[in-house]
Amino acid sequence: MSLEGRVIVVTGAARGLGRAFAQACRDSGAKSVVVADIDAARGEATAQELRATGGNVVFLRYDQGDPASIESFARALAEKFGHIDGLVNNAAIATGIGGKLHDEIDIETWDRVMAVNVRGVWLVVRALAPLLRKSKLGGRVVNLASDTALWGAPRLLHYVASKGAVISMTRSLARELGPDGIAVNAVAPGLVIGESTEYVPRERHELYVKGRAMQREQTPEDVAGPVLYLLGAGANFVTGQVIPVNGGFVFN
């Protein structure tokens, strides 16, 4: 689980799951951790907080919905590090969009979710792949999917569809980047307790807890372990896989 000597980029890392991933990478000995987010104030604050307790943690702002911003982000990483060893593709639109049936979702919201959650994930991989190819430890990409795409959660069609696309892209990218020694995998968390899920109705939280083999609420730390595994040497020959991390709500 050690990430010693590795440069790891975590997108959407200003808060929630992304912040937990960045902290876990720092705690696991990563040489450098990049907190990447659209929210400059919160992103810089997160980086400062993590640096205060040790480690080289830096913040870089980018907008996953803006292709030009992603390209600028990649150039900044190249100038600062020359290469990266791992990318955690966590950034996504997830908050405040649920609760509507398929015929209640407006086209503008659908397009915005797809632009960030699908196109953005692809563009980040495309922009950062040259830096991953330069890794001497073996490049790693961990995409954040969702178990909603595995069980077909209702009243969330745009998000579910976007995460289903992430799963499919993970498998295709694994074949395209495999010859370069880059592993591409995904984790599919269940409903995680945090700021981004405070809007989710209590009934949905209870559905998850009661439906899990391990009947408790899920925390960001529950997801960090599998992410660390996929970023490290223990997953050298693991690629194209989707790991549900939800306490047994769905089995893959």
Residues recognised as catalytic: 159
Side-chain half-sphere CA neighbours of 189 within 13 A: 25
Count of beta carbons in the 10 Å neighbourhood of residue 11:
29
Cα–Cα distance, 63 to 51 (Å, whole number)? 23
Cα–Cα distance, 114 to 93 (Å, whole number)? 9
Extract the tokens encoding 106. Answer: 């407006």
Count of beta carbons in the 10 Å neighbourhood of residue 215:
12
Contact 204, 191 (CB under 8 A): yes
Cα–Cα distance, 10 to 2 (Å, whole number)? 16
